[in-house]
Homo-oligomer: A and B are copies of this chain.
Amino acid sequence: MLEALFNPASVAVIGASRKPDKLGYAVVDNLVNGGYPGTVYPINPKATEILGLKAYPSVLDVPGAIDLAIIVIPHKYVADALRQCGQKGIQAVIVISAGFREAGREGVDREKELIRIAKEYGIRMVGPNCLGVIDTYTPMNASFSAGTPPKGPIGFMSQSGALGTAILDWSLAGNIGFSKFVSLGNKADVAEVDLLQAWADDPNVRVILAYSEGLPDGQEFMRVAREVSRKKPIVAVKSGVTSAGSRAVSSHTGSLAGSEQAYKAAFEQAGVLRAQSMEELFDYALAFAYQPLIRGDRIAVITNAGGPGILATDALERSGLQLARLSPETVHKLEAGLPEAASAANPIDVLGDALSDRYELALDLVSADPNVDGMIVILTPQAMTEIEETAHAVGKTARRIDKPILGCFMGEYRVNVGVEILKQYGVPNYPFPERAAAAFAAMRNYRLARERPDPEFVRFDVDRQSVRELIDKTLEEGRVTIGDAEARAILKAYGFRIPRSRIAADPDEAVQVAGEFGYPVVLKIASPDILHKTDVGGVKVGLQTPTDVRDAFELIVYRAQRYVPQARIWGCLVQEMVPQGLEVLVGMNRDPQFGPLVTFGLGGIYVEALKDVTFRVAPFGRLDAEEMLKEIKAHRLLDGVRGQRPADKEAIVDTLLRVNQLVTDFPEIVEMDINPLMVFEQGQGAIPLDMRLVLSGRKP
C-alpha cells in the first residue's frame, strides 16, 4: 500500500527552483543529497536544468513514467498542477503548498477542489500544507526538512509540520532513528488510518508514532488501529484536548463527556497508547523500537546508588508495575558474589564503589531469573565507576537475552560516553529513573492491550420496530427530547426492567392509579418541557396515603407552572415505589469524532459532585462493560462495604449492553441518561428510575 508514496521509481518536483532560499530548491536538494536512487524530474517552465538535473516545463512534458509528484508552487496554481499529474497517471502526490483549509473560507474551497481532482484521477494525496515525506530505507527525502534523520525502526506521522522539524532536528543529534516520517498537513486525503494500514506489515516499522490534533473519522480510526495494534505498538499524542468540550450540551452525561474522555476511551479500546507529552512519546518509542516486548510486569532494578533505586521503586509502584521478587537461587548467588553491604534483594544495590564486574555479575544472574520480566540498570558516576565497561556489560546482556533492558545512566558530562555505548547496543537510556519506569509501564500497557480479546457485540432480542416508530413520531411532531413517560416505552422495548407507572391527568386519577399499584408510590411531573424534574421540585417519593397523593399532585403541578410557566403539563406520572438501592448512572453522549460515548458512574447527587464516571465508545463488548464497573473510583461500593451486600453487577452490565445496542441501533439518539439506575443486591436486578433522550433534529 502507498508504494508509490514511499518507494517510487521516479519523482517529479513541481516548483523545483534554482534559488537555495526556496522550498522548491530544498526539496530537490534533499532528494538528490538524501541518496534517492530513482529518477528526479525538476518541473519548472523557466528552467532547463536544476541541481544538474534536466528540468521540464510540466509533468506532461516528461518522457518517462512518474510515480510520485511533489507540489511546491503558490496555491492558485496547485489545482492545475494536480490535474496534470492525473493526466500523466501519477499515483501519489505530496502537496507542500499552503493556503488551503488553514487559510479561511476560500482556502476551504480550494482544498475541496484538490480533493475532487484527486478522487477523479485516483491520486493518493498527502497534504496540502505539509513538510513532506521521508523514507530512510528507500532512501527518499521528499521534504524541505533541514537534514535527513538517521535510519531506524520508527514510523512517525505528524499533523504539525513544524513539530516535525523539531523532531527531525532532535533525531539529527543522534537520539533516535526513523524509517518513515510523514507530515500529514491538512489531511485532505491521506490520513492516519492510511498510514496505519500501510505500516502494519512494513518490516522497517517496528513502532508507529503519531501526533494528532483531531481524528474526524474516529470510528474508522478505532477499527484500523485495533487491528494494527495487534501487530505493532501505536503511540500517539493528541493535543488540543483541554480547549475542546466547548460544544453546548444539555444533559448531565454530556457535561461529563467531551473530547478528552472520548479520546481516552477510544485509544484504550483501540489499543493505542496515549502519551501525555512529546517527551513521553519518544521515551516510549525508544523502548518499543529497540527492546523486545515485555512479557510480564515484574521489573528488577540494578543500581550503584540507593537513592535512585528508591526513586525507581516509587515510580514502578506508582505505575502499577511490580518490583520483581528474585528467586532464592538468584538472591543466594548475588549474596555470594557481592560485598556484604550490598543489597541482594531487588532493587539490587551493587554499591557506590562497584566496578563493572559487579554489574556483570548482577546482570547475568538477574537476567536469567524466571521471576524477572525486565530490568532497569541505574548508574551514577561515582569515583571508581567504570562507565564504559558497565555500558558494554549492559549492552551485551541486552543482546543475549529476550527481555527488555532500559538504561538509566544518570548525569551527562562523564556518563555520556556510556550512553553512547548503550545506544550502539540498542539499549535506550533515560536520564532519570522515573522516565525508565514510565517506559516500562507503557510496554506493560501494550502487552495488556494486545492480549485483550476483540470486543464481541452482544445483541439482545428487542422490539426495535416500536422504538423506530416512537422516534419517527417524535421527530415528526418537531420534538427532539423524549422524557420519562415515552422513554419508558423505549426502555420496555429494549428489555429493561421498569417500575409500573401511568400518567394521571388529575389528583383523582392519581389516587385511583396509586390504589391499583399499591402504596407507597412516587409522583413525578409529566411534561415534555421539563427535563430535570427534581430541580423544580417535580418529584415526591414515599407517598403513603390517598391524601399524600392528592397533596403531592397539586403541589407538583403548582410548582411546575410557577417555575416553568411555558411548560406543557400533562399531569403527574404515578409510579410504583422502587426500594432504595445503589444509585448509578448510565448515559450516552454522541462525540463529534467517535460517535456514541457511553457513560457509567455513581448516580444521584454524586454524579455531579464527584464526576466519578468512565466511558466507552459504542459499540463495545461484554468485557468492556465489565471493565467499566471496575474503573470508577467508587467501584468498591459495588462490592459492598461495611457490611453491605454486593450490588447486582450483572444487572449493571446488562443495562450497559442494552444501552450499547440501543444507541448503536439508533444514530438519531444524540444524548441519553438513565439516572438513577437503582441497583439492588446481587441477584435482585436493577431498575431505571428515570430516563431521558435527546434526538438529533436532522435525520441521519
Q: Which residues of A line the B interface, CB within 8 A?
A: 21, 23, 26, 103, 144, 146-147, 158-163, 165-173, 175, 211, 213, 237, 239-243, 276-279, 304-308, 310-311, 313-315, 317-318, 341, 352, 380-384, 410-416, 431-435, 532, 534-537, 605-606, 608-612, 633-637, 641-644
A-B contact pairs, 9 of them (CB 8 A): A158-B307, A165-B380, A169-B410, A173-B412, A173-B416, A239-B310, A277-B432, A537-B643, A609-B641
Kindly list chain B residues whose C-beta atoms are within 8 Å of the C-beta of A278. Answer: 311, 410, 432-434
CB-defined contacts of A633 to chain B, threshold 8 Å: 609-612
Please tell me if the beta carbons of A21 and B240 are within 8 angstroms of each other in the complex: no
How far apart are A216's CB and chain B's nearest CB, in angstroms?
17
Report the separation of the CA atoms of residues A503 and B26 in the bound assembly, to the nearest whole angstrom. 91
Known: A239-B314, A278-B311. A637 touches B609 (CB 8 A): yes
Report how far A435 CA is from B277 CA in the complex, Å: 9
Name A604's closest neighbour in chain B (CB-CB).
B642
Contacts of A415 in B (CB 8 A): 166, 169
The answer for the CA separation of A163 and B303 in the assembled complex, in Å, is 11
Q: Is the CB of B435 within 8 A of A307?
A: no
* 8 interchain residue pairs of minimum CB distance: A160-B307, A162-B305, A169-B411, A166-B410, A172-B413, A173-B412, A242-B317, A277-B434
Q: Which residue of B lies closest to A639 (CB)?
A: B609
Residues in chain B near residue A276, CB distance under 8 A = 434
Contact of A610 among B162, B241, B411, B612 (CB under 8 A): B612
Given known contacts A213-B310, A642-B532, A160 and B606 CB-to-CB distance under 8 angstroms = no
- Taking a contact as CB atoms under 8 Å apart, the answer to whether A314 and B240 are in contact is yes
Please indicate the chain B residues that have their CB under 8 angstroms from the CB of A163 in the complex: 305, 307-308, 380, 410
Contacts of A170 in B (CB 8 A): 410-413, 431
Residues in B with CB closer than 8 Å to A168 are: 411
Which residue on B lies nearest to A381, using beta carbons?
A: B169
CA of A609 to CA of B646, assembled, Å: 13
Q: Is the CB of B318 within 8 A of A242?
A: yes
Shortest Cβ distance from residue A449 to the other chain B in the assembled complex, whole angstroms: 24
- Can you name the residue of chain B whose Cβ is closest to the Cβ of A608? B641
Q: Write the nearest CB–CB distance from A422 to chain B, whole angstroms.
A: 16
Is B352 in contact with A161, judged by CB distance below 8 angstroms?
A: yes
B169 touches A643 (CB 8 A): no
CB distance from A389 to the nearest CB of B (A): 16
Do the beta carbons of A165 and B381 come within 8 Å of each other?
yes
9 A-B pairs besides A169-B410, A170-B411 with CB distance below 8 A are A166-B410, A169-B380, A170-B431, A175-B412, A240-B310, A242-B317, A279-B431, A606-B606, A609-B633
